[in-house]
Structures are given as structure tokens and as C-alpha cells.
Amino acid sequence: MNDLILLYFILLVFFGGFYFVIIATFSIGWFSLRQFRKTAPEPKTLVSVLVPARNEENIIEKLLSNLCLQNYPNHLYEIIVIDDHSTDNTVRTVNNFISQHKARLSNPDGNGTTGQGFSIKLLRIKGETQTKAYKKKAIRTAIEQSSGNLIITTDADCLPDKNWIKTIVSLYETKQPKMIVGPVSFHREKTFFQKIQSLEFLSLIAMTAGAIKTGHPIMCNGANLAYEKQAFFDVGGFGIDRFSSGDDVFLLQRIRKLFGSNSVWFLKSKDAFVYTEALDTLREFFDQRIRWASKNKGYDLKILVISFTVYMMNLLLLAAVAISLSFPGFWKTTAYIFAVKYIIDLPVLIGIVSFAKKMKLFVYSVPLIVIYPIYIILAGALGIVSSYNWKGRKLKI
């Protein structure tokens, strides 16, 4: 058993050292990333906002109403909703909204003028295919029919700030990046489970930003993402269609490879937030995380090394608990190991909850460090061998 414990400590020092370097680097990146301030000149970029949707009848109208209230010149943006074989009333809901929008345009002196001057279009994907890449196909179809020079994507269950488009375009016109990654946050969290999700998700956003700032872009989220349409075609689109997920990260990999790390920027601005709701059930949560993990085999070496290091660090935390169950004298060492990891993670957690104005979530950082290793190990393993349900579809890995 002494040999086993010795091996454990060798692995802990090795992966723990790498983990510390990774988290410290990204934490420094987060704190060195300045908040972006919008510039004064009037924007001139034509924007296409793309919203892939499947079975979103209960929520998509809220997003469309929100997009109609954007503080951005109406003649410079369009909204394209792409229906991905919805089996509910999503299509009817969107068409009704479009009809009401056209009525407002034709009667500007009538009951409100919301949304004058820009178009809302609905595209419908024709025919189910054998590919798993439903969302990628939906977005690619919309890009091919879009008018904008800058593509902005979000999800149907999201709500952006009213200055969302304006802030993205301000960064684009100031710095001319090929891709802009924006912050995403949960809101309206009620249960303990949702608040834990919210804090963990914010930590991922901070790591995303820190990685981009330090020249190692490894993550992004399609719920708040912008990129040049020409850059999308230059890199050959998403490229990998054997995974249902990855319309965001795979495109980031390709843009980084062709144009360099400096072509990807993180937009650190409170006006750039997109808000969505945390999941209600464990089944939904694991389906989401398995879907995320299922695309690991498509990552490049840099992302794989970082992901594997994080995975092994959390596996070693669980291993310490397992050792302690057999040898109670090891519990004190296990507590020290968890405490050190908590201290390593602490700065960036404080930074992101402060930036997102969610300091009340910080109290959940202690239970998060205990719970996180369990589900990250399960989701990672199931992401290799398991199937999952997403938007009414059962997909195999």
C-alpha cells in the first residue's frame, strides 16, 4: 500500500504542478484583461444575428423581442432564425412574430415602432440527414444566406443586453479580430443545484477569457460568439461534422490555426453579457456535459493536454477520498489537497463573480470544490462511451 501511496503522490505532484501553471496563467490573463469601453463613432458594420432553434416555442419570442430592442442602427442588422426540424409550434411562433414585426414596419405611427428598418427571416432546414451535426448545418445554411459581414450567434433560450450588438461591433471595428468571444451567465437561479451550476459556468467563462488573453484560446460558447463571415469561409467552415456539438470550439481552432491566436479576442464588458437559465434536473445537466465531452476527440493537442490535466487533477482528488476510506489517517492529507486546489482556484472565482455582479454565489465555492470532481469525472467518461438526449434527439457518441 505504501508503494500505491507513493505512486499517488508522484502523480499528484506531476499533474498538480501542471494544473497550477494552467490555472495561474489563465487567472493572470483574466485579471490583466481590461474591461472594454465602447467607442463613440457611429458603427458601420452590417451584422447578421443567427439563432438556431429546435422546439423553442415557449421562449424564442422573448429573445426576438429582446433583439428588436437592440441599441444598434436598424438598417445595419438582420435576424435569421433557423428552424432545426422542430416538432412543436416554434415555426408558428416565429412566423407570428415576423408578421407582427412587418405590421409595425408598415404602420410606424401605430402601436409602437419597435424593430423598424431591419428584417427578421425564418429559414427551415429541409430533410433529416445522417449527420450528427444538426446545429452546424443550421448555422452554415444561415451564413450562406446572410447579408452581414459580421456573424453573431446566440441560442434561442438566451437574452442579450440591449447594447450587445453595439458593444461587439465596437470591439470589432476597433481591433479587427476574426473572432470575438463574449461572456455568458446564468440568471434567475433559484435552487442550490442551479446556483452551483451558475458559479461553475462563470468559472469556465473566466478561464475562457484568461486563456484568450494569454494567447492560448481553447474555449468559447456559441451562445455569444461573433466572427467575420469571410473568415468562416476562409477556414472552410466548422470542418468536423461527426460531432453534434462543437460549432464554436472547432471554428475557434481553425481560425486560430489560420490567422493566429491574436485573431481571437474576448469581450470583457458587462454590456456584452448574454443570459440564459441553468438546467433544472441532473439528467438535463449530464446530457449537456456528455454532449460537451463527446467532442473531445476532435480537439487539437493543446486543448487535449489542458483538458486531460484538469481531468486527472479531479480524478486524483477522488482518489484521495478513496484512499482515506481505506486508511482514515489519510483524511488530513486529503483535506490539505482539497484546500490547496481551492486556493489555486480562488482568485479567478472571486474575479468573475465580482465582474458579473454575482458575489452572492461565492458562498457556493466550498460545496462546488467537493461536487465538481464527481461530475467532471462521470461526464468525461460517459462522453466517450455513452449516448445522450438533446432537444428531443437521442444521439450516440
- Considering the domain architecture, whether residues 10 and 156 belong to the same structural domain is answered as no
pLDDT of 112 over the 60 cut: no
Half-sphere exposure of 343 (CA within 13 A, CB side): 7
pLDDT at 245 > cutoff 70: no
Q: What mean pLDDT is predicted for residues 15-26? A: 97
Judge whether residue 304 has pLDDT over 80: yes
Q: How many domains does the chain have?
A: 2
Q: Is the pLDDT of residue 98 over 50?
A: yes
Pair (257, 314) in one structural domain:
no
How many Å apart are CA 311 and CA 306, to the nearest integer? 9
Q: Which CATH number belongs to the domain containing residue 255 in this structure?
A: 3.90.550.10
Least confident of 9-23, 108-122, 127-141, 285-299: 108-122
Q: Same structural domain for residues 171 and 86?
A: yes
- Indicate if 248 and 345 belong to the same structural domain: no
d(CA 204, CA 186): 12
Q: Which domain range does residue 262 map to? A: 35-182+220-278
pLDDT of residue 111: 40
Structural domain contains residue 296:
no
Residue 397 included in any domain: no
Which residues in 179-191 are b (16+ Cβ under 10 Å) and which e? bbbbbbbbeebee
Location of C-alpha cell 493572470: 28
37-83 confidence digits (pLDDT tens): 887 789 999 999 999 999 999 999 999 999 999 999 999 999 999 99
Share of the chain above pLDDT 70, in %: 89
Q: Which residues contact 294 (CB under 8 A, 6 or more apart)?
A: 243, 244, 245, 383, 384, 388, 397
Its pTM stands at: 0.92
Mean pLDDT of 265-285: 95
pLDDT 10s digits, 157-181: 999 999 999 999 999 999 999 999 9
Does the residue 171 lie in any domain? yes
- What is the per-residue pLDDT across 255-274, written as a single tens digit (0 to 9) for each? 999 999 999 999 999 999 99
Q: Say whether both 243 and 139 belong to one domain.
A: yes
Is pLDDT larger for residue 369 or for residue 243? Answer: 369
Q: Is residue 204 part of a domain?
A: no
Residues 149 and 251 in one domain: yes
Task: Tell whether 311 and 250 lie within a shared domain.
Answer: no
Q: Is residue 93 assigned to a domain?
A: yes
